[in-house]
Amino acid sequence: MSAWLRQLPNSISAFRIALVAPIGIALVQRNWPVAIGLILVATASDGLDGFLAKRFGWQTALGALLDPAADKLLVATVFVTLALQGGVPLWLMAVAVGRDLVIVTGALAYRLRFGPLRVRPRAVSRLNTLCQLGFVLCVVVRREFGWPPAWAEIALGASTLVTTAVSGIDYLLTYGRAAGAAARAEAVR
């Protein structure tokens, strides 16, 4: 197998990171058709890189950093921009961005104190990403086309809130258990 192919998921994640600025610009300019297209491309690339990495065993340490970084940058950019424009409630933006800040802070703290921690995204985290992207797409599509109906946006916003909270708590518990086990192992040495 070609070394290039093995890096394909990483390249796709890097491409998704590169899409963050154009998505943010399209949102700021209220260029909804471009924003919709770019968010759809970013969403599809998120699924594609994960599929390729798992299906063909192309997971790498770099990919373990790039993929979640791309997700968190995209979510933060879209939620903050839409919240500043009044399209997303500020409290929902704070929950979504706050969750990611807690995850990143927890991961860094763990790494500094105990070393690397391998945490695989759980089903609730994947569902959360799907809900978040579905919600922001709904918000942007409604701005351009007046569809889907308001209740769909509200339902997706509620799903985003619930899955963001549950997945955030799940990460806190996961890091907490891992930190406790690592601390106990250090104490035994």
pLDDT tens digits, one per residue of 44-58: 999 899 899 989 999
Q: CA-to-CA distance for 18 and 10, rounded, in angstroms?
A: 12
Res. 10: pLDDT tops 90: yes
What does the pLDDT average to over 132-152?
A: 95
Q: What is the pLDDT, as a whole number, of residue 120?
A: 77
Residue 177 belongs to a domain with what CATH number?
1.20.120.1760
Which structural domain, as residue segments, surrounds residue 117? 3-188
What does the pLDDT average to over 30-53?
A: 94
Res. 119: pLDDT tops 90: no
Q: What is the pLDDT, as a whole number, of residue 1?
A: 57
Cα 118 to its chain centre, rounded Å, is 17
Closest listed residue to residue 165, CA positions, set 121, 112, 117, 127: 127
Mean pLDDT for the chain overall: 93
Residue 70: pLDDT band with limits 50, 70, 90: very high
* Helices 61-84 and 8-28, packing angle to 10 deg: 10
What does the pLDDT average to over 148-158?
A: 97
Determine how many CB atoms are found less than 10 A away from the CB of residue 120.
Answer: 8
pTM, entire model: 0.90
Ranges of H-type helices in the chain: 3-6, 8-28, 32-55, 61-84, 90-114, 123-145, 150-188
Our count of domains for the chain comes to 1
Q: What is the pLDDT, as a whole number, of residue 117?
A: 79
